[in-house]
Structure 1
Amino acid sequence: MSTYAGKGYFVAAMKSIHIRPVQDEGKNVTKIHSHDYYELVIVVRGEGIHWIQGKRYDLAPGQVYLLRPGDTHYYEDFQHLTLQNFMFSRGVLRTCGKLLRALSGYETFFQNDEIQPKIKINSSLIAESDVILQYIGQENQRKSYQNSLLQFSYIAMLLGKLLDEEATGVTVLFPKDNLQNAIAYMRQNYSKRICVKVLADICNMSYSSFHVKFRQEFAASPMQWLMNFRLQKAMQMLMRSEKSIAEVAYACGFVDPLYFSRQFRKNIGCSPRKYRLDGQGNIERLQGERTQKDSSYLKLHSYRDKMKSPVELIDF
């Protein structure tokens, strides 16, 4: 992977295939390693074990993992494991962080290290990500500022698809079974009044136990988590709808528009009105480009096999 991610490239992508030798009767394992960039891993097919920061994760098709800079990981006991690997630098987040933060999956991907895999996607999204991989791989073979811009646009398109938890084909995964019901309840009822006692009851836990366990898991109290989620939804509505500021506040569970504006400024760094004015035009242009790309997907998919695939065959 370093072959593609090195040499100063801003974004890189490749497909890796891990094959277990027939004559090997022992436990096959890759080398423990880490990177100084982000790596997005999508499991295409096969099975195996993914060790990340000393924690075990059983691999299955459709899983999506995000490795942060410095995370140590390796694969073990794999059988015909095929992965899509997307690598990108910290500069990607610095450049389009504001747009990504407006998506519902931003916290899951970039602010909660405990959730792995991040999401699970269906075969249609795996095929779409493969097309994006092909294009990034092609641009990796060329060296120009134009190619770097295209690489950036492709990885932004992929992140936009994966971080949209409401998109077709995306399944949100929860870190702990006993907190799953509380998370699901807040996601589904964020526009309504929610209290911690109700969440604790849903999880069959006492108020104090639930509060402590939730904070240990998410590094935030339940109400802080709910506040962040409501603000994420508000950011989406400000960008994608024509609702007034007050209407956005009420739709996201805030009973007082003034309180909503204060919390928005405190957490996001600007007023809801300024956020809308600064970002809506960029979002509309980005969505227009995505719509154009998506509409040509079937055409791209029909001849993607004709393109040279950046595949690295790894045999252990």
Structure 2
Amino acid sequence: MDICYCYHGKQVCEPSYSWGPGIKEQYKIMFIHAGRGVYQIDGKTFHLQQGEGFIVYDNILCYMEADPTDPWIYSWIAFSGNGVIPLFEQAHISPLHPVFRYSPLFWFDSYLDEFSACDVNHSTSELRRQSILFRSLADWIDMLVATSQLLPEVRPKDAYIRKAVEFIRMNYNQRVSISEVAHIVGIDRVYLSVLFKEILNVSPQQYLLNLRMDKAGDLLDNSQLSITEVSYSVGYSDPLLFSKMFKKVKGLSPSHFRSRLKRDSSMGLSSLD
């Protein structure tokens, strides 16, 4: 199974402490041990408390904020790999349904102690951390399945949107039509558009466009790919059309967007001198 341990941790948050909006490079399972807070992902807001948890997805914009009077304490385990999404699907977890409740009998702290006890200089430490990761994930899945009545009920509408969003996110760099998405989901194209507007407040076309431009912005910022290469990487075979759509969404051409990022970065570094 292609899942690799990255890191783990625990944090006692200050009142109103926040992170984001931003993008993480790994998946994270967050367990709330005390207090309250707000989690936002993909345009949805969740008000969470002790005994609940949530998933941070890689490369999906999210935001976290602790309650001003009862700030949360949470722990997490971060990992990456192509096997993560199928694992989440076993627990009916997705970007549209990233929240779960967990049993008080599921003592995640014991796994944190095991991770921390691994000597990073030991020749088998990486194998030991992988072993702990797989055991903790297996127990987490078993816990969710055993207490499935605690999971949020998924409405048919939400299930359609979840399937559509997952397909779009997996294929945004290909030639994707909304008719194809509707066919994959198993509903009429018009009804799919109605559901996107109702639940996500955007059309499926706009959702796909925004996703592509967000991914393009990441590539312009974090890679040396040419504008043409970025264009192909996010599903556009015509670089001129890509540049036109990028400017429409981001307000700048791809080249100006990249040069501004470099300028802002250099100004930030010079201010530290």
TM-score normalised by L of structure 2: 0.50
Give me the whole-angstrom Cα distance separating, in 2, the residues matched to 1:69 and 1:61: 24
- Describe the shift of the 1:30–1:168 C-alpha distance in structure 2 as closer, same or farther (beyond 3 A): closer
Give me the whole-angstrom Cα distance separating, in 2, the residues matched to 1:77 and 1:122: 22
Q: Which runs of 5+ in 2 are unaligned?
A: 165-184, 188-273
| Correspondence for 2:124 | 146
1:15 aligns with one of 2, 10, 13: 10
- Describe the shift of the 1:16–1:170 C-alpha distance in structure 2 as closer, same or farther (beyond 3 A): farther
| Correspondence for 1:64 | 53
Amino acid aligned to 1:85: W
Overall identity of the aligned pairs, in %: 14
SS of 2:35's partner is strand
2:95 aligns with one of 103, 113, 136: 113
- Asked if 1 retains the 8 angstrom alpha-carbon contact of 2:91 and 2:141, the reply is no
**Aligned positions of 1:117-136 closer than 5 A:** 117=99, 119-125=100-106, 128-136=107-115
Q: Which runs of 5+ in 1 are unaligned?
A: 1-8, 21-26, 180-211, 223-316
- Describe the shift of the 1:169–1:62 C-alpha distance in structure 2 as closer, same or farther (beyond 3 A): farther
Q: Deviations over 1:244-271 (max 9, x none)?
A: xxxxxxxxxxxxxxxxxxxxxxxxxxxx
Shift of 1:12: 1.6
**Aligned positions of 1:183-262 closer than 5 A:** 214-219=159-164, 220-221=185-186
Give me the whole-angstrom Cα distance separating, in 1, the residues matched to 2:159 and 2:47: 24
Aligned length: 161
- Asked if 2 retains the 8 angstrom alpha-carbon contact of 1:62 and 1:121, the reply is yes
- Asked if 2 retains the 8 angstrom alpha-carbon contact of 1:122 and 1:170, the reply is no
- Asked if 2 retains the 8 angstrom alpha-carbon contact of 1:121 and 1:169, the reply is no
Shift of 1:39: 0.8
| Correspondence for 2:74 | 83
Amino acid aligned to 1:83: Y
Asked if 1:163 is matched to 2:141, the reply is: yes
SS of 2:58's partner is coil
Give me the whole-angstrom Cα distance separating, in 1, the residues matched to 2:51 and 2:19: 21
Amino acid aligned to 1:215: Y
**Alignment RMSD, CA only?**
3.0
| Correspondence for 2:175 | none
